[in-house]
Chains A and B, each alone.
Chain A
Amino acid sequence: MPTEDRAWMESSDEAPRYIRRRQWLKALGVAGIAGFAGCQGDGDGGTETAADTPTDTPTESGTDTGTDTQDFGETATESTPVNQLPEPSGTYDTVTSAAYTTLNPLYNTEAGAGDAIGFALDGGYTFDDQQEYFPLLYDMSTDNGQVWVFEVREGLEFSDPYGEVTAESFTYQIQELHQTDWAGTADSASWGSGVNVEQTGTYEFQAELPSTNILYPESFDPLLYPVPKDLVQPYVEEQDAEGLRQDEELLELQFTGNLGAFVLDEWNRGSGTTYTRNDDYYIQNIDEGPDLFEGAPYFEGASTSVVQEQSSRLGALETGEADVASIPPTRFQEFDEKESVNVLQIPQPYNEIISVNMRDNGWNAGPGNLFRHIPFRQAMAAAINKQNLIDGVFQGLAAPHYTWQPRWSRFYPEGADLSTFGSGDQYGSDYARGLAEDAFEMSEHDYAFDGDTMVNPDGDQVALTLYHSAGQETERLESEFAAQELNNNLGMNVQVEAIDGTRFDNEYWSNNPVEPGTTATVNGEEYTWNAPSPNNGGPRSATSNQAWDMSMVFGLNTFPRNPLTNQFFFDGPNSFYNPVGYYPEFNAPELFQQAREATSVEEVERAFAEIFVNVAREQPYIMLAFPDGLTGYNPDLVGPIENFSNGWNFPAWRFEEG
């Protein structure tokens, strides 16, 4: 039951065209996305997100067809034959921190709602615990990475009177909804006009991409939820986007037939959803997957409850009212010792970083902007001891973050000469000060050290502000630790300030875009901003409403399955997502181009090894740590695993009395 990772910018409203929301998700690990089994909805674990529903994990991607270094975690797939299928029992109860905006699968953009939809409606595919493509509604194959063939599974049925799911159910949806301007569906950008879709049989269709993409499934662009043609056709004929968005059958998932593990009974807008078991779930008859799928699902029902308060969610987990909830690191020990809770540490791709503002309204400590000089960012990274941060703030439940990829990813440049600022020899006052002095030499202004203090040209101590999200205890501790280290090792006076996340996003993080067509010279080359947006408003003169220096408010996604998505951050001045005004000083566009045009995973790996070594060197964001995703489960629940794909085999999950 895949939970698609489309979900960041809430409010699926009447926008005429929609963001590449998966790309958004991928691009923005910011509060509101996580989307992996049961590790959301927390508010204190680093990424604050929407739901605690351990359904599935297909967040970003990575066709890691099983080689070398990757280690996405524990692989506990049951492959042994099952003599007797368990009897369904109990209800699988989850809690979520935010109510859903819509359950209409054509318009959903939220991870939490994606989980709620996923209980009643499977998406096209998922990735198993070996990170292999696992077909649910359709299989995908390609010869050259450019033409992808989709084979729709037979025996898939919508509810009456809509009949069977065929290739046309998907091609009609793609061509008449996603590839038109009027509907503005969530997937519109995934199926841009450059993708040529054609039905080639009753159960087969193909998509021809503008160029090769060997990580196409991992991009989740081709992930679809089926909707009946007859249901949407009247809206298509009238081009009635509002009607399509507000259709009750779509909103209440009344068409899902045998396509999901459960049938939605009720969606109470304020309090959550309830489901009953779907006796005809198609997965019982498929050949792939564990034998246990034959009798799936093994719960009599399921529910999601909106519980905004974290302590209430944890309380519900403890009393057994909820079967899953995410655990903040500060309470890991406490819950780990409880017999009533089984805590899992699940790998996750969101990072903890300090964003430094390289735009014109950053660096408010004097003239110039030292953040723009690589050695200065390196100095900051070298001044903060990563292991002490992990031990002190994350109770040891995190890994050091050196480059834009977790170590368990196959794309991590293992063995390369990688900068490891903040660890070993590359940590310490002398080392950091040496780098800072290199940066002073590059600056036009007279920054210097006066004894232990870093001073500006006026001789005053460099004083900067570091923002963190209000109410996020872990983030506050992290900020204070970083401020202390920067003070001790670089003599900077860093003031830590709390700020509301939404306010920070609107007033500080989002730039005011320049006019399209604006040109500027960056690193000796002239660039034109044809489509400036609040996430990259243009050259460094395009700034936010309020000046700011540093922030820990947002963590970002590193995309261990499909690192190509990282081009949004690092692909030069015109990157889609560049609120901080970072311009790489290595040849990022060419390396990303190599990765995009690769015809094998090995080629992608080679390109990314080079990219990630350079990113580690340039520190576009000051990289600190990868916290573990901590999720507490009912100890009687069998199925959850400490794997990046936790939840892929949700139909086989069940209760067994411990």
Chain B
Amino acid sequence: MNTHETELATYNFAYLDEQTKRMIRRAILKAIAIPGYQVPFASREMPMPYGWGTGGVQVTAAVIGPEDTLKVIDQGADDTTNAVSIRAFFQKVANVAVTTKTREATVIQTRHRIPEEQLTEGQVLVYQVPIPEPLRFLEPRETETRKMHALEEYGLMHVKLYEDIARNGHIATTYAYPVKVEGRYVMDPSPIPKFDNPKMHMSEALQLFGAGREKRIYAIPPHTKVVSLDFEDHPFEVQKFAKPCALCGAHGVYLDEVILDDKGGRMFVCSDTDFCEERREAGHVGELGVANKEAAE
């Protein structure tokens, strides 16, 4: 079934067969009903290696329809290998419209970032997740971590954060920072910088998480409490940057370090390329940026 009726043989719409989609769809609905709980699913082999977003791709394939507009980002960027190839994949197998503009997208698949622009109702954010189990590095046995979630036994996670403080004087976890969803399940938000954690709290958009190798799907419905774990005397804090983006001059956004030469030269630029480009088009210029032509002329 595809819109190209002239082609003799083609993939099913969105690549996956219908039985697989039903299985994933059932898992997604249960995941939404139990926010933060990791639903096991029968992850399929995808035409890309594990670690390249097979979980996110399967979730996107089960959700996406012909009316959707897809945006794919990798660490905030629309133009890196992972983002480009996944976008091309869905153009090919689902013939969907694609965009790099956050506000035009209905489905956004992301690797390790949440867009700077606030997401709205009707948007679905699909995260690619490498290790869905937040307790995995503390307890390697699945049988045990499952029991810990069932009993809401999360003391070990607080011990880990406490040890951070004891060694470093502050909580040194900077990405994949554990959160508690709706006061019940402790969840791994995927390796997004902790800078993005507050954006998950009471988000307007539906957030879905897919881990292909680990075969788990979980979700945060819109308007759901997502609290980063912390202590009264060591409250959760996000990264702060000394300088604004070198290209667009934006404050209060997540910045990537870019090495400029072999003499220690470097600059910090927005990790969200769409956000940065839009600001530069609007005439904002950072200290290393070049004013756009129209504005300059």
Partners in one complex: no
